Amino acid sequence: MIPFSPPRIDDKTIAEVTDALQSGWITTGPKTKLFEEKLAAFIGVKHVVCLNSATAGMQLILNWLGIKKGDEVIVPAYTYCATANVVIHAGAKPVMVDVNEDDFNISINAVRNAITPKTKAIIAVDIAGYPADYDELHQLVRENQINSLYNPENSVQQKLNRIAIVADAAHSIGAIYNGARTGNQADMSSFSFHAVKNLTTAEGGAVAFNLKEFSSQELQQKFKVSSLHGQTKDAFSKNQIGAWKYDVVEAGFKCNMTDLQAAIGLVELKRYEETLARRKTIFEKYQNAFSKKAWAKVPLFSSNNKTSSYHLYMLRIKDISEEKRDVIIAKTSEKEVAVNVHYLPLAMLTYYRNKGYAINDYPQTYENYKAEITLPVYYNLTDSQVETVINAVVESVEEVI
């Protein structure tokens, strides 16, 4: 079976994790600090904070913004549940909007129509690693008519003085927008290092700060405190001679990254350019093969100002029903190739359906979803395995359509 997305674990990963284990320091400490510095340098921002997931990153962002009951946060209808679940946890309402046909990302027009005096933030998702339209989002929230609706309710919101733009950058570490890596466009961006992601720490995430109105060093410190119960010193600082005393300044969360995770991340980051190059080659091989097929709608992964991180190769089959797409997936699996669907739209999930969201309100999301099949992409997928995947998909599609 060709798996969908196995992690790359080799002697280098094992040696770095062993080093952390043997050091005796396994929770947040020197390796996490080093990983944060290297990550910030790679992204091209001054500071990032490492956490145990992208979900935790988004939760801390909403917490910092003071988002609460009665507020609205706009999210795309086509994303992983984490994007909306964090809004629910903040006590606010996720306002789902439809997405683009060409790149699966949040539709700027749909965002415009969804803004109300309760809107406090927009979470854009860089689906598949292809950045959302950040210039357009920044312009939109600054338009006089839109900005006049904004109703700041705390000092952070007053200082920001507009709707916040948050990136769910779970897929897009290393993607480029207007010549800069993702992390430099939204006010804050949350990256995922989950096991299936391009760059993994087993579980993990990081938030990159990009707010002129606030010091990123202070934000990093603030988020560290929020990620550790509101405690003013982490275990490593407390462990220094005579430094046991600490305070708790808020009822914070518990979502810090450990040095074991950071050890994996340090190895992954060091070879990430190489990883991206291989993923790009695989995307191009798929693109080359499927563009020749009249039934295929191939994904967008580069344009004049955007380059993907090549996270998910999201193929679509033209004029297909959801049922037939599912048969194609079953047939591909029978040919020993694991494929996937990204994503079951939020409004089709029981929890959100029960809350009154209906897929009929997001027609483009459904059109994209019903036709979509995600193909395997990972560093050590060989050229001959890529051929096997292509043949399995082509044969399965042509048996069904």
Ligand X SMILES: Cc1ncc(COP(=O)(O)O)c(C=O)c1O
What is the spatial distance between Cα 366 and Cα 388, in angstroms, rounded to a whole number?
A: 29
3-state secondary structure (DSSP) of residue 237: helix
311 is an interface residue for ligand X by CB under 6 A = no
What is the spatial distance between Cα 132 and Cα 185, in angstroms, rounded to a whole number?
A: 10
Token pair, residue 158, equals 């007053």
170 is an interface residue for ligand X by CB under 6 A = yes
User: Which position among 13, 28, 32, 53 is part of the footprint of ligand X (CB under 6 A)?
Assistant: 53
Instruction: Considering the complex, state which of residue 192 and residue 220 has its C-beta at the smaller distance from ligand X.
Output: 192
- Quote the least distance from Cβ 80 to ligand X, whole Å: 4
What is the spatial distance between Cα 301 and Cα 126, in angstroms, rounded to a whole number?
A: 11
Instruction: Considering the complex, state which of residue 55 and residue 210 has its C-beta at the smaller distance from ligand X.
Output: 55
Instruction: Considering the complex, state which of residue 82 and residue 329 has its C-beta at the smaller distance from ligand X.
Output: 82
Instruction: Considering the complex, state which of residue 25 and residue 301 has its C-beta at the smaller distance from ligand X.
Output: 301
- Quote the least distance from Cβ 86 to ligand X, whole Å: 9
What is the spatial distance between Cα 285 and Cα 280, in angstroms, rounded to a whole number?
A: 9
Of the candidate spans 164-172, 283-291, 352-360, 386-394, the one that interacts with ligand X by CB under 6 A turns out to be: 164-172
- Quote the least distance from Cβ 126 to ligand X, whole Å: 8
Q: In 84-234, where do the E strands start and end?
A: 93-97, 119-125, 164-169, 176-177, 180-181, 188-192, 205-209
- Quote the least distance from Cβ 194 to ligand X, whole Å: 4
252 Cβ neighbours under 8 A, 6+ residues apart: 225, 226, 227, 228, 229, 230, 231
54 is an interface residue for ligand X by CB under 6 A = yes
| Residue 68: count of CB within 10 angstroms of its CB | 14
Instruction: Considering the complex, state which of residue 206 and residue 393 has its C-beta at the smaller distance from ligand X.
Output: 206
- Quote the least distance from Cβ 196 to ligand X, whole Å: 7
55 is an interface residue for ligand X by CB under 6 A = yes
- Quote the least distance from Cβ 193 to ligand X, whole Å: 7
194 is an interface residue for ligand X by CB under 6 A = yes
Rg for the chain, CA atoms, rounded = 21
What is the spatial distance between Cα 347 and Cα 383, in angstroms, rounded to a whole number?
A: 38
129 is an interface residue for ligand X by CB under 6 A = no
Is residue 17 a contact partner of residue 264, using CB atoms and an 8 Å limit?
yes
381 is an interface residue for ligand X by CB under 6 A = no
392 is an interface residue for ligand X by CB under 6 A = no
3-state secondary structure (DSSP) of residue 49: strand
Q: How far is CA 61 from CA 65, 80, 90, 182, 187, in A?
A: 6, 18, 10, 17, 10
Of the candidate spans 24-32, 48-56, 324-332, 356-364, the one that interacts with ligand X by CB under 6 A turns out to be: 48-56
Exposed e or buried b per residue across 82-108, where buried means at least 16 C-beta atoms within 10 angstroms of its C-beta: bbbbbbeebebbbbbbbbbeebbbbbb
DSSP state of 357: -
Token pair, residue 305, equals 């100002």
User: Which position among 29, 205, 252, 299 is part of the footprint of ligand X (CB under 6 A)?
Assistant: 205
- Quote the least distance from Cβ 389 to ligand X, whole Å: 21
258 is an interface residue for ligand X by CB under 6 A = no
Is residue 159 a contact partner of residue 115, using CB atoms and an 8 Å limit?
no
Considering only residues 69 to 128 of the shown chain, the ones binding ligand X according to CB under 6 A are 79-80, 82-83, 125
- Quote the least distance from Cβ 54 to ligand X, whole Å: 4
256 is an interface residue for ligand X by CB under 6 A = no
Which residues form the interface with ligand X (CB under 6 A)?
53-55, 79-80, 82-83, 125, 168, 170-171, 192, 194, 205
